Amino acid sequence: MSASKGVAENMLWGGRFTQGLDPLMVQYNQSLPYDRILWQQDIRGSLAFARANTKGGILTAHEFSEIERGFAQIATEWRTNTFLVKENDEDIHTANERRLSEIIGKDIGGKLHTGRSRNEQIATDMRLWLRDELRQLDVWLCDLIKVSVARAESELDYLMPGYTHLQKAQPVRWSHFLLSHATAFASELQRLREVIRRVNKSPLGTGALAGNPFQIDREMMAEELGFEGLLYNSMNAVADRDFAMETMQWGSSFMLKISRWAEDLIIYSSLEFGFVRLSDAYSTGSSLMPQKKNADSLELLRGKSGRAFGHMAGLMCTIKGLPTTYNKDLQESVEPLLDHIKTVGDSIQIATGVLSTLTAIPEKMIAALAPEMLATEFADYLVRKGVPFREGHHISGQVVQLAEQNKVPMDTLTVEQLKTVDARFDDDVRACLDYERAVELKDAVGGTSRRAVLEQTAVLKKLL
């Protein structure tokens, strides 16, 4: 007997095959090198399934006790890295079931799979693993938001330019900038929690596609495994990878936001801006230029967003044309999902480390403020005197033009010069050139005044 024929005969599906597999096909088909990470979930699902089959009379109490004993030993072997993988272990399900029969014998071990398909098994394992991983991402994302809020409160008095089109626009608080990203992260936190609810549904007990013939108690298994409800159509349950796709959509959306956050800090940490200085722990130097301090942590965050987008696009291309129900193409949902979760999880932790250790430099922020950023204050000044805003906007534009014509900063224009633009300017117009005043006037909900910023921190704390 050829080695490859022996492999085929020992596969869970090998009974009807008489010819061996191409050795490359064996390797091509295997998923154990990466789905072994699901060993714990596979054991939990198998125990729940065996318990339910015991309730249904398929297994005796003694047989279930032996299965429990066998899986306890298998768990120890995985945990201590002593599990011996064999040639016919194509995936984590095959490996665990093969080892179980070795420990407790095939007479009992061979009953484990009664009424169960690997189609439902992998969907169950993936959902169990993903649910717990997403809950960990929730914790890490909360930490990132907490650090943002803490810095916003402790550095409330720092003023900086706010930008549109990367052009200086209006003065804002540094804390307002931090909270602009924290608010975006909070939206992602809410979406993440919605994704977790949809991931946490049980496919166990749906068979290969048509359902279970032994009246297995699916609710009992779902409750034991901590699922919040069932998937109610067996064909959909084994074919569905929306939970993986939606996770990657969420992860891509989050990584898009963390990439923009990173881009801002890359710009602000440059010598041209100098608003922040990164910790040495999250920077690198140049192999040639000793003066360089590169924001590699932020650049990697920006770069890995593309990796996350690729996971999502790849999975969507894989599943878009599949016929109902299970197809081996779906194996390609596992590996990118594992990498996606690691990429996103590492990125959240790196971002938190960067933000908690960077140094803000308020002197540089203040120095970057320019009088022209207060042009809107002149328009608002005229509005308070009853001038229509559109007219006031036009007049304030003329003030900017006057300063440009005279080649002087706008804050050096005299009241007399301002009156040549519009007679309604009076001595009190000089107050418009106060950056702190301009910031404090933006006091409506969501604004950049001290009160409005603290209100935003309170809202985020409540969410957390």
Phi, psi values for residue 358, rounded to 5°: -70, 155
- Is residue 311 flagged as an active site residue? no
- Is residue 259 flagged as an active site residue? no
Tokens 């009156």: give the residue: 419
Tokens encoding 251: 């992860």
As a three-state string, the secondary structure of the chain is CCHHHHHHHHCCCHHHCCCCCCHHHHHHHCCHHHHHHHHHHHHHHHHHHHHHHHHCCCCCHHHHHHHHHHHHHHHHHHHCCCCCCCCCCCCHHHHHHHHHHHHHCHHHHCCCCCCCCHHHHHHHHHHHHHHHHHHHHHHHHHHHHHHHHHHHHHCCCCEEEEEECCEEEEEEEHHHHHHHHHHHHHHHHHHHHHHHHHHCCECCCCCCCCCCCCCCCHHHHHHHCCCCCECCCHHHHHHCCHHHHHHHHHHHHHHHHHHHHHHHHHHHCCCCCCCEECCHHHCECCCCCCCCCECHHHHHHHHHHHHHHHHHHHHHHHHCCCCCCCCHHHHHHHHHHHHHHHHHHHHHHHHHHHHHHCEECHHHHHHHCCHHHHHHHHHHHHHCCCCCHHHHHHHHHHHHHHHHHHCCCHHHCCHHHHHHHCCCCCHHHHHHHCHHHHHHHCCCCCCCCHHHHHHHHHHHHHHC
Q: By C-alpha distance, which of 233, 241, 224 is closest to 206?
A: 233
Out of 286, 287, 311, 394, the active site residue is 286
Distances (CA, A) of 271 to 113, 288, 364: 64, 18, 10
Out of 165, 269, 270, 356, the active site residue is 165
Residue type at position 7? V
Residue type at position 196? I
Q: Computed from CA positions of residues 270, 272, 276, 277, in that sequence, does the dihedral angle turn out positive or negative?
A: positive
CB atoms under 10 Å from CB of 461, counted, come to 12
Phi, psi values for residue 226, rounded to 5°: 80, 15
What residues are annotated to the active site? 165, 286
